[in-house]
């Protein structure tokens, strides 16, 4: 059974466990690194601040009673009609069961409820599973330049979905 739960700053230990697992398991997928969130970077105030981003949604998927997936929706600076999907990860044992589908739909629902008309995201071009997932959900390339990749030349793909399409 898959249940979704929205987290508040007090839930930071749940987010910490999932996010550190995500950064350890899928470093190819994220701009952040495990090193940034371990050791001196692994502090309660940082995790609380991450969950306390104003106007954001932080949701975890609880699969058969255990937190096993995560995603956030965050406001986009200087673009009131847009929100961004970030931090998407599903534990390997829970993949292929539609957990990411549920997380994306929840972020979309939240985005539409707050009046956003556009949901965007950045994805590493080589992350074919994630790109396929997003295309299946109606996201398309925007042509915007994403962040530089660690190789110093490539860029993240910026994809977006119009939430007014029904």
Ligand X SMILES: CC(C)(COP(=O)(O)OP(=O)(O)OC[C@H]1O[C@@H](n2cnc3c(N)ncnc32)[C@H](O)[C@@H]1OP(=O)(O)O)[C@@H](O)C(=O)NCCC(=O)NCCS
Count the alpha carbons within 13 Å of 41 in the hemisphere toward its beta carbon: 11
How many residues form the binding site for ligand X (CB under 6 A)?
Answer: 18
Can you tell me which of 93, 132, 144, 148 binds ligand X, judged by CB under 6 A?
132
Query: Which range of residues in 7-15, 33-41, 46-54, 87-95 is near ligand X by CB under 6 A?
Result: 87-95
Can you tell me which of 11, 36, 101, 106 binds ligand X, judged by CB under 6 A?
101
Cβ proximity of 61 and 4 under 8 Å:
yes
Q: CB 122 → ligand X: shortest distance, Å?
A: 7
* 98 scored as a contact of ligand X (CB under 6 A): yes
Can you name the residues that pair with 120 across neighbouring β-strands? 84, 160
* 100 scored as a contact of ligand X (CB under 6 A): yes
Adjacency order of strands within the sheet including 79-90: 2-6, 57-63, 66-76, 79-90, 118-123, 155-162, 140-148
Contacts of 102 (CB under 8 A, 6+ apart): 2, 4, 61, 69
d(CA 139, CA 105): 12
Query: Which range of residues in 31-39, 47-55, 109-117, 127-135 is near ligand X by CB under 6 A?
Result: 127-135
Residue corresponding to tokens 């008309």: 117
Contacts to ligand X from residues 25-84, by CB under 6 A: 26, 29
- Of 116 and 123, which CB lies nearer to ligand X in the complex structure? 123
Q: CB 150 → ligand X: shortest distance, Å?
A: 15
- Of 107 and 130, which CB lies nearer to ligand X in the complex structure? 130
- Of 46 and 97, which CB lies nearer to ligand X in the complex structure? 97
What's the alpha-carbon Rg for the chain, to the nearest Å?
A: 15
Q: Which residues bind ligand X (CB under 6 A)?
A: 26, 29, 88-90, 95-101, 123, 127, 129-130, 132-133
């Amino acid at each position: 059974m898959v249940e979704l739960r929205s987290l508040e700053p007090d839930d930071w230990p749940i987010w910490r466990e999932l996010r550190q697992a995500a950064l350890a398991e899928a470093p190819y997928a994220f701009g952040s690194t495990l090193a940034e969130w371990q050791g001196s970077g692994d502090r309660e105030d940082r995790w609380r601040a991450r969950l306390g981003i104003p106007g954001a949604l932080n949701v975890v998927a609880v699969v058969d009673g255990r937190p096993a997936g995560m995603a956030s929706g965050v406001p986009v600076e200087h673009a009131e009609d847009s929100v961004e999907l970030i931090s998407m990860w599903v534990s390997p044992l829970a993949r292929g069961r539609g957990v990411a589908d549920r997380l994306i739909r929840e972020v979309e629902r939240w985005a539409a409820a707050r009046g956003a008309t556009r949901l965007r995201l950045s994805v590493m071009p080589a992350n074919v599973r994630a790109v396929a997932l997003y295309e299946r959900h109606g996201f398309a390339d925007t042509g915007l330049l994403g962040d530089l990749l660690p190789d110093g030349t490539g860029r993240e793909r910026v994809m977006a979905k119009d939430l007014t399409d029904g």
